[in-house]
Amino acid sequence: MFSKMNKVKTTSEKSLTNSSRIVGLLAQLEKINSESLLVEADTARYVTSKILHLTQSQEKTRKEMTAKGSPAIEVILSTLENTRDLQTTLNILNILIELVSVGGGRKASALVSKGGTQILLQLLLSASKDSPPNEELMVQLHSLLAKIGPKDKKFGVKARICGTLNISLNLVKQSLQNHRLILPCLQVLRVYSTNSVNAVSLGKNGVVELMFKIIGPFSKKNTGLMKVALDTLAALLKSKTNARRAVDRGYVHVLLTSYVDWHRHDSRHRHMLIRKGILQCIKSVTNIKLGRKAFIDANGMKILYNTSQDCLAVRTLDPLVNTSSLIMRKCFPKNRLPLPTIKSVFRFQLPVIPISGPVAQLYSLPPEVDDVVDESDDNDDIETESEIENENEDDKDHLFKNDDIETDINKLKPRQELGRPIEELKMYEQFFPELSDNFKDYDLVFKEPKPFASDANLGGPIVVPTAGEEQSVEANHSVMGITVKESNHLQAEECNKRPVFLDLPKNDRNKDNSLQQQSDQKKLLSSCQCLNFEIVKGLDRITLQNTSKNEQYYKTGCVMKKESKTSLTSLTCNKPCQHVSSCGSVLFEGRSVQLGKLCFTGVDPEEEDDSSSHSSGEQVILEVPDILPLHDPDLYIEIVKNTKSVPEYSEVAYPDYFGHIPPPFKEPILERPYGVQRTKISQDIERLIHQNDIIDRVMYDLDNPSYSVPEEGEILKFNSKFESGNLRKVIQIRKNEYDLILNSDINSNHYHQWFYFEVSGMRPGIGYRFNVINCEKSNSQFNYGMQPLMYSVQEALNSRPWWTRVGTDICYYKNHFARSSIAAGGQKGKSYYTITFTVNFPHKDDVCYFAYHYPYTYSTLRMHLQKLESMHNPQQIYFRQDTLCETLSGNSCPLVTITAMPESNYFEHICQFRNRPYIFLTARVHPGETNASWVMKGTLEYLMSNNPTSQSLRESYIFKIVPMLNPDGVINGNHRCSLSGEDLNRQWQNPNPDLHPTIYHSKGLLQYLAAIKRLPLVYCDYHGHSRKKNVFMYGCSIKETVWHTNVSAASCDLIEDLGYRGLQIGTRELEEMGAKFCVGLLRLKRLTSPLEFNLPSCLLDIENELIESSCKVTSPTTYVLDEDEPRFLEEVDYSAESNDEQDIELADNAGDYEPSVQEEGLSDSEMTRTHLP
């Protein structure tokens, strides 16, 4: 015990002694610095040698000297600045090297902050004047400068001002054989060269030529020096002047030869860093057009392709493969899209041509101008002395200023004027009959009104009423219904008819109902009650649970039946084989509309045992399942007849005709295979290297309608001539690989993203690769697990009528097709992007449809609205459908009003009805964001359902809904614009009634409500996002909230449903979102009407089940701007034309790993969005 205590005491005393010694030595050194006359050099030399010994031998001493508040570095730097003794100088340099080497970057930064850079550079300048300069001093000085230089942002500027650039360069020139000296000198030159002005200055003094004297063929000697020389050269060649000098002297060929030599001899891969250094030099020099041409002329594509293929088997060589891939993509000659023009293949003459903007420029282009590609895609070869490099075009999204979120308090003050005269706004009075209707034409249930509070003031603020007592379904059947008008009689009669199209089986009960309707009014009421009961059962199927029950309503399925006769309206087939023909039969008189091709081998044997019994020549009737309460194929066809499209479509896609249900399983995000993008890029490069292997045959071309594809059994057939379809051209590249080109928005020359097309003629067990080659966005969720959608007609016939996520080897990357400056807003050198995916079809000769997201056509909306109108319970629900306006092509824009019927036509009940606050909802201003329509469908169905929360919402609010703001864009397969060629969501400020009628009149509705002092309590616009997951929203800024309400804005809660995480969101989830949004409005009711707190407990229970608070975010705006996805590593490939340095470090990492850096902020910002999953 005593011995142990002694040991502890001895250690403590030793530690104290060491601490005291370094403090004492520093004090002595400080005293020497303060002497007006320098003491003998021996004293300073002795003290610094002691400090050096302690620094080298004791870690505690190093920590103490670099601790916060320690004066050690200042004292040492001061001594270095004042001493003239060589040994003292060397001692101090060694001390600083020791401190910086052990402490890392933080210690180097501390040295820079205390003025170390200037002192060392001044010392270098002084030492260079000695003849000859002291070698040891130069080695130590350059070693220290190489360590602190990268931590000093102004290091290059300081060196240039101090005049030390050429000192290091001359030392290298004079000491090529002295590897100990030139190694730290090269390290310093590398740091100097990161400044573009320095690189140009050094290049003029022969630094590039000097580096190539050091770089040579494979050798096991001096590999460290070779690596530093390559790193220095790569930094120097980032200067366009130096790159041009290297090209002029034939150094591109030298680099390639050297790389092949190292690749061949480094069989054990011990010198990967040298091989990578050579690639970095090639990468830098090919940033200019001359460098790329020299690379191609030196057969660089084939060299790097072959060497990278050799490296694929060794995972540790991935940095070489990745860098080689980047270089090859950058040097791949830019191709033009194989199109006559990038303008849409369809033409629509506008009633008014805008004076300015992209549409005006489009119309002003001379017809002889080639708008597909420019003469040159390189605008970065203009050299300036400043050598200021342009930022990477794809990274500008990070600095994107979101114009949709206003944060300037001076701009947030609401305008007092309406913008349009009140006399003009009176035209919108017709869309608000609920504010004037006294319901005298309705025999409402007589019910005593609830007494108003004694201080109630009808002229005062609007108070949201509490939901009344909920009536059960059984009670509704016993209540006397209202006497409807003749139009309602016709609707009721129409909705009870069973569709006869395609000989659908009729329901006997509905036959009876139809007969009762034709008899007398009493039977009409009985029929309506029966219908209401059916609708209650149908709408009760709408569930917010994740588990689908749809499959239980789909028991009969689709079957093939043999008939001796068929009606004229039947889908028939007379092809003399067991395959159903590619018929496209006319389905009705008048305007002809056809179903797409139906090619299949019959139902699978496991699904239908007698499928093989179909004999040649037999006619086949295709039965369409009656499984969807809001889908009616007959009605859909009738609506399509009246839908006006620019191409005048005469075909109907099967998924839109059949309808579809969500699959009975969840579809998780696809896990991305390692290196998939690299493999796809390699296959693209093979097109250039092995050109004879490319078929290059046009398979589908809207620009050449007369083009006929040869009838061969091994090729696919394509079609997009139906509503919302988008596919312009298809080119067969290899036997099972096809390039697909999308059509631009009408009256536009860009916005390519949305696709929807038909494929037939496939064979099972074959992987077909599809490449959509003219996308424009810089990134996509296809890089993060999203898959395209496929609908199989054969599967639908086998009782599986759903869209499914399909495809493997999916990625999204920049390709070698150039975008013209006309299509890129005046910017040259931009490229298109490719979506690539591989699909194995399950059936032979099937007909399949592919889509970017779940299609939702304009005709589908019209069908759903008509079904909702015919199916609703008029005793409870006030439902009205108006035509807000006509679009440019003459289609109607629906406006829907939903609320609860007044309890009676008593004055108090009518007043309560009229005083309900308005909720204004819109969707689908961007046609490609189809998920917005599915969310809107969920909202509409929830508002029309008979559950208690829906009734409470209807009793609380009047819903004004424009479910599709851009019908023309949706019909014609646009991605972003209307027929005016403009983004309608950017026209709200000053809409033109001739060019933007739907926006003009939607804004007119809001202006009318403002004029009558009935501004909506909520306005929500449904959108989609192509690069964010899940569902999210943002709205007015907190400042704007404060401005409008004059109250302190508490932080909002964003509620996230964790059930969506890891899933590819389907129509079930999208409709849930629409329903849950409605439930959120129920919560808003309690917040805006604190006196209305007495909701039935059952409603609160239902609400809590639907929305579970699991995530609280104090700043919703910040939350939305945080991208869920990190940067994708292979995104460095996107910057193929860039001279940015950011991808140098990324290239050190192997493979497809995703660094944890935040993605870009929102590029398309709207009030409320549901994201394209």
Lowest mean pLDDT among 304-313, 624-633, 806-815: 624-633
d(CA 891, CA 79): 86
Token pair of 721, please?
């001539």
Alpha carbon 533 to chain centroid, angstroms: 44
| DSSP β-bridge partners for residue 851 | 756, 789
Peptide bond into 133 cis (omega under 30): no
Q: What is the mean pLDDT of residues 829-856?
A: 94
List, as one string, the DSSP characters of 347-369: ----SS--SSSHHHHHHHS-TT-
Q: Is 709 exposed, middle or buried (0-12, 13-18, 19+ CB in 10 A)?
A: middle
Q: How far is CA 1030 from CA 666, 1025, 1033, 1123, in A?
A: 15, 10, 10, 11
**Scanning the structure block, which residue is given the tokens 């130069």?**
138
Output 976 or 452, whichever has higher pLDDT. Answer: 976
- Report the percent of the chain where pLDDT is more than 90: 47
Q: pLDDT tens digits for 347-371?
A: 999 998 888 777 887 877 777 777 7
Lowest mean pLDDT among 120-134, 981-995, 1138-1152: 1138-1152
Statement: residue 486 has pLDDT above 60: no
d(CA 742, CA 88): 73
Q: How far is CA 131 from CA 80, 84, 170, 594, in A?
A: 21, 16, 13, 94
Lowest mean pLDDT among 231-240, 455-464, 823-832: 455-464
Token pair of 169, please?
């360069």
Q: pLDDT tens digits for 223-282?
A: 999 999 999 999 999 999 999 999 999 999 999 999 999 999 998 999 999 999 999 999
Which phi and psi angles does 708 have, rounded to 5°?
Answer: -115, 135
Q: What is the residue-averaged pLDDT of the chain? A: 75
Which phi and psi angles does 352 have, rounded to 5°?
Answer: -140, 135
Residue 759: its H or E element = strand 756-760
Q: pLDDT tens digits for 147-206?
A: 999 999 999 999 999 999 999 999 999 988 888 999 999 999 999 999 999 999 999 999
Amino acid at 537: K
d(CA 423, CA 316): 75
Statement: residue 571 has pLDDT above 80: no
Could you tell me the pLDDT band of residue 412, with boundaries at 50, 70 and 90?
Answer: low
**Scanning the structure block, which residue is given the tokens 């309506």?**
528
Residue 361: per-residue pLDDT: 79
Compute how many other C-beta atoms are within 10 angstroms of the C-beta atom of residue 980: 28
Compute how many other C-beta atoms are within 10 angstroms of the C-beta atom of residue 396: 11
What is this structure's pTM?
A: 0.74
**Residue 602 Ramachandran class (φ > 0 left, ψ -120 to 50 alpha, else beta):** left
Beta strands 620-622; 560-562: pairing state: antiparallel
In eight-state DSSP terms, residue 506 is P
**Residue 574 Ramachandran class (φ > 0 left, ψ -120 to 50 alpha, else beta):** alpha
Residue 454: per-residue pLDDT: 35
Q: pLDDT tens digits for 893-928?
A: 999 999 999 988 888 899 999 999 999 999 999 999
Q: Are 275 and 259 in contact (CB under 8 A)?
A: yes
Q: Are 984 and 978 in contact (CB under 8 A)?
A: yes
Q: pLDDT tens digits for 949-991?
A: 999 999 999 999 999 999 999 999 999 999 999 999 999 989 9
| DSSP β-bridge partners for residue 1033 | 1168
Q: Are 1007 and 419 in contact (CB under 8 A)?
A: yes
Compute how many other C-beta atoms are within 10 angstroms of the C-beta atom of residue 456: 11
Q: What angle is formed at CA 426 by the lines to CA 422 and CA 428, rounded to 5 degrees?
A: 125
Token pair of 418, please?
């309406």
Residue 417: per-residue pLDDT: 66
Q: What is the mean pLDDT of residues 1156-1166?
A: 33
- Give the helix ranges, DSSP H, for 599-646: 633-641
Residue 834: per-residue pLDDT: 95
